[in-house]
Amino acid sequence: MIAFISDVHSNLAALEAVLADIHAVGGSDARIWCLGDTVGYAAQPAECLDLVLDRCEVVLAGNHDLAVSGDDRASEDVVPGLFDGGPGAGIALARQVLGSERIARMQSLEPSALLDNVELHHGSDRDPIWEYVRTAETATAHLRAQQRELGAVGHTHMPLLWELPAAAEVASGGLMPAGSSILLERGTARVFNPGSVGQPRDRDPRAAWASLEGGVLTFRRVDYDIAAAQASIRAAGLPTETADRLELGW
């Protein structure tokens, strides 16, 4: 089994719940691929980064990771206001607590990878760092550029699946409900997003991940201790909105 996780965003309680669920579903041989944004927003970037680097076979860099590690592709020049508000506070906290060794490891991560013939990006293939694949239009553009039949992306914090059969003009798809499964028969280009571990934005506050086994892709959700995550965010002095949104799933 391959487990896809993304957008952990320093939420240790959610990450631990997802890792336990991956173990329960796929056993100790489960391979875990992380699509980026391990840090940012919440209060435990160091703990999350250590666990992700230790457990995952591939770890992409997301826009927040790149901002924390000082990459030119995620700077104020590229995105004015990047270091303001909730995102800015999470980036500043991560820079304070990660230490130079972790930052150096983060600087070696890239926003795209190709593994087992699956194309992986944090954002999209047109813009691996910043583009959101969340509409039929962006999914169509992504799938026309995608070099492999199957791709996986993060960044939107929503569990999504889009497909573009050879004869189709426009991609179809959208949000994938908890527990939904699809058999990936050959001949159709697809891209999916497993949803977010640490800050879901589809109005379902449970942590999200996806499994791929025997050609079947399954979108999964797991409860975690949201109150504990919120308490750690408040204790760290981060914006209250960063804590409040977790129970809304938005």
Q: Which residues bind Zn ion (CB under 5 A)?
A: 7, 37
Q: Where are the alpha helices (DSSP H) in 30-148?
A: 45-55, 63-68, 85-97, 99-106, 136-145
From the list 52, 28, 24, the residue with the least C-alpha distance to 38 is 52
Name the pairing type of β-strands 172-175 and 31-34: unpaired
Task: Give the nearest distance from C-beta 74 to Zn ion in angstroms.
Answer: 12
Nearer to Zn ion, 126 or 148 (CB): 126
Whether residue 134 contacts residue 160, with contact meaning beta carbons closer than 8 Å, is answered with yes
Task: Give the nearest distance from C-beta 214 to Zn ion in angstroms.
Answer: 29
Nearer to Zn ion, 7 or 119 (CB): 7
Nearer to Zn ion, 61 or 189 (CB): 61
- Shortest Cβ contact with Zn ion: which residue? 37
From the list 147, 117, 145, 142, the residue with the least C-alpha distance to 131 is 142
Task: Give the nearest distance from C-beta 28 to Zn ion in angstroms.
Answer: 28
Task: Give the nearest distance from C-beta 54 to Zn ion in angstroms.
Answer: 21
Nearer to Zn ion, 34 or 150 (CB): 34
